[in-house]
Amino acid sequence: MNSLDAFAEQKLAALEAGALRRRLTTTGRGPDSAATRGGRAMVSFSCNDYLGLSQHPRVIAAAQAAVAAHGAGAGGSRLVTGNHAILGELETRLAAHKGKEAAMVFGSGYLANLGITPALAGSGDLVLLDDLSHACMWAGARLSGARVLTFRHNDMDDLRSVLAANRAGHGRALLLTERIFSMDGDRAPMDDILSIARDFDAWTLVDDAHGLGVIEDGPRAPLEMGTLSKSLGSYGGYLCASRAVIDLLTSRARSFIYTTGLPPASAAAALEALVILEEEPDRCARPLALARRFTARLGLPEAESAVVPVLVGEAQQALDLSAQLEAEGFLVVAIRPPTVPAGTARLRVAFSAAHSESQVDALSEAVARLTAG
């Protein structure tokens, strides 16, 4: 065996030994949260399609019309020839939705975070993250070359004391958090974060990947990023901010500049989804209502968002519970370290406007039964 493959085999064996090796499973998706795996039909409680819009006839029709009119791909980076008019329309609508002057669409939410932080902070600056922040916020922070520190999850005393001890001696300071945490479904105390940021002359970037269209209350941060791939049912990422910031990032965010523009179909689907999101408040209220129905039935702490963790503990137990649910027709994936801290393996249950009350009740009954005793 050559040394490259030997290296890969050795690393894989170590991952296997730590129950950390990941494998892909093919999943088919359809309307009404339907999913298929290995020929088995299931109800998915693992999609981030919170409003069911990835399957909405109007969203599908918008994507199809854009492919037919403009082709499958953008054909170039946005600063060259890939800046399709639909992207501009989408940006105008996103900015208006967030009450900001301007917006920019990136290739994905991951790429957005990879581009935003390094464009705003660098050597001599301070980047401070909630310690449960998403992997792509960490990636952007590290890439920036700024000093990177963390504060304990949603702990405002800790945030204040880390800033008090470290703010001096740095040029700019940037706070990074998520409005809704992706694996715990809890909310960041945005009022407090923004006020602490003001006290310490720091800027705030909030990742709203799991909030848009589901949890819309609370103050806005100066930098509001997110994804087009969850409640908007499409693909891509965005940042909403002031015109000056967006103009600066257009010239400085490397993950925006050196990558191909979003396919017109993805932009058109996201734009139509955003129109529906704004037209249908009842649809937007459903994921949280269903999540609360589920937590009430199981006696869990009341859901704060469309995401509910059912904590299990060890990775294998979470995998076993997920497999048992799958056998009963519920797709609820297990989330394990290193995605979440050791000892907190869990089922991550994601609710969608496309679920029915009876589907939610059937899942709660199954979880209660399988975790009893």
Q: Is the peptide bond between 338 and the residue preceding it cis, with omega within 30 degrees of 0?
A: yes
> Beta strand pairing status for 203-207 and 34-37?
unpaired
Report the residue closest to ligand PMP, judged by CB: 109
The two three-digit tokens of residue 342, written as one number: 């050791």
Taking the complex as a whole, the smallest distance from the CB of residue 362 to ligand PMP amounts, in Å, to: 27
Interaction between residue 186 and ligand PMP (CB under 6 A): no
Interaction between residue 295 and ligand PMP (CB under 6 A): no
Whole-angstrom Cα distance, residue 116 to residue 253? 6
Question: Is 186 part of the annotated catalytic residue set?
Answer: no
Q: Give the closest residue to 254 by CA, choosing from 148, 120, 127, 123.
A: 120
Nearer of residues 95 and 350 to ligand PMP, judged by Cβ: 350
Interaction between residue 363 and ligand PMP (CB under 6 A): no
Nearer of residues 125 and 130 to ligand PMP, judged by Cβ: 130
Taking the complex as a whole, the smallest distance from the CB of residue 22 to ligand PMP amounts, in Å, to: 15
User: Residues 118, 140, 211, 237: which binds ligand PMP (CB under 6 A)?
Assistant: 237
Taking the complex as a whole, the smallest distance from the CB of residue 365 to ligand PMP amounts, in Å, to: 29
User: Residues 49, 125, 130, 178: which binds ligand PMP (CB under 6 A)?
Assistant: 178
Paired strand residues for 350 = 307
User: Residues 52, 109, 118, 213: which binds ligand PMP (CB under 6 A)?
Assistant: 109
Q: How far is CA 89 from CA 83, 134, 223, 325, in A?
A: 11, 28, 20, 42
Among residues 184, 230, 266, 322, the one annotated as catalytic is 230
Paired strand residues for 206 = 177, 224
The two three-digit tokens of residue 177, written as one number: 């958090």
User: Residues 127, 209, 270, 366: which binds ligand PMP (CB under 6 A)?
Assistant: 209
Question: Is 230 part of the annotated catalytic residue set?
Answer: yes
B/e letters for 358-371, b = 16+ CB within 10 Å, e = fewer, are ebbeebbebbeeee
Interaction between residue 224 and ligand PMP (CB under 6 A): no
Nearer of residues 308 and 366 to ligand PMP, judged by Cβ: 308
Taking the complex as a whole, the smallest distance from the CB of residue 278 to ligand PMP amounts, in Å, to: 20
Nearer of residues 220 and 293 to ligand PMP, judged by Cβ: 220
B/e letters for 107-135, b = 16+ CB within 10 Å, e = fewer, are bbbbbbbbbbbbbbbeeebbbbbbebbbe
Question: Is 48 part of the annotated catalytic residue set?
Answer: yes
User: Residues 110, 256, 294, 330: which binds ligand PMP (CB under 6 A)?
Assistant: 110
Question: Which three-class secondary structure string do you get for 323-371?
Answer: HHHHHCCEECCEECCCCCCCCCEEEEEECCCCCCHHHHHHHHHHHHHHH
Q: Give the closest residue to 152 by CA, choosing from 341, 365, 323, 367.
A: 341
Interaction between residue 52 and ligand PMP (CB under 6 A): no
User: Residues 70, 84, 134, 348: which binds ligand PMP (CB under 6 A)?
Assistant: 134
Interaction between residue 95 and ligand PMP (CB under 6 A): no
Query: What residues are annotated to the active site?
Result: 48, 134, 178, 182, 207, 210, 230
